[in-house]
Amino acid sequence: MEGLRTVKSVLISVFDKSGLDKVVKVLDELGISIYSTGGTFSYITKLGIKVKTIEEITAYPSILGGRVKTLHPLVFGGILGRRDLESDQKEMQKYNIPEIDMVIVDLYPFEKTLTSTQDESEIIEKIDIGGISLIRAAAKNFKDVFIVPSSDHYEDALEILIENNGTTTLADRKEFATNAFNVSSHYDTAIFKYFNHEVGITTFRQSIHQSKMLRYGENPHQMGYFFGKLGENFEQLNGKEISYNNLNDLDAGVALIKEFSEPTIAILKHNNACGLASHSDLLLAWRHALAGDPVSAFGGVIVTNSVVNIKTAEEINKLFFEIILAPGYEQAALDILKSKKKRIILLERTKPSAAPEFQFKSSLNGVLMQQTDTKTEIIKDLDFVTDRKGNAEEISDLLFANKIVKHSKSNAIVLVKNKQLLASGVGQTSRVDALKQAIEKAKSNDFSLNGSVMASDAFFPFADSVEIAYKSGINTVIQPGGSIRDKDSVDYCNANGIAMAFTGFRHFKH
Which string of DSSP letters, residue by residue, matches 282-344? HHHHHHHHHHT-TTTTTTEEEEESSPBPHHHHHHHTTS-EEEEEES-B-HHHHHHHTTSTT-E
Annotated active-site residue in 17, 52, 72, 140:
140
First to last CA, the chain: 52
Distance (Å, whole) CA 24 – CA 36 = 11
CA 330 to chain centre: 29
**CA dist., res. 250 & res. 401, Å (int):** 20
Phi and psi at residue 218, in whole multiples of 5°? -65, -30
Which of 8, 270, 375, 389 is the catalytic position? 270
**How many Cβ atoms sit within 10 Å of the Cβ of residue 59?**
8
- Residues 6+ away with beta carbon under 8 Å from 497: 388, 475
Told to judge if 140 belongs to the known catalytic residues of this protein, a careful annotator would answer yes
Nearest to 137 by CA among 126, 128, 145: 145
Q: Using an 8 Å Cβ cutoff, are 138 and 183 in contact?
A: no
What is d(CA 95, CA 87) in angstroms, rounded to the nearest whole number? 12
The DSSP element (H or E) to which 228 belongs, if any, is none
Burial letters 274-309, b for 16+ CB under 10 A, else e:
bbbbbbeebbbbbbbbbbbbeebbeebbbbbbbebb
Nearest to 10, CA basis, from 104, 119, 117:
104
Say if residues 330 and 310 touch (Cβ distance below 8 Å): yes
Rounded CA-CA distance 27/24 in Å is 5
Please, what sign has the CA dihedral across residues 291, 297, 298, 303?
negative
- Return left, alpha or beta for 5; rule: phi > 0 is left, psi -120 to 50 is alpha, else beta: beta
From 509, 482, 505, select the one nearest 378 (Cα to Cα). 505
Q: Residue 138: helix, strand or coil by DSSP?
A: helix
Cα 144 off chain centre by: 38
Mind telling me the catalytic residues? 140, 270
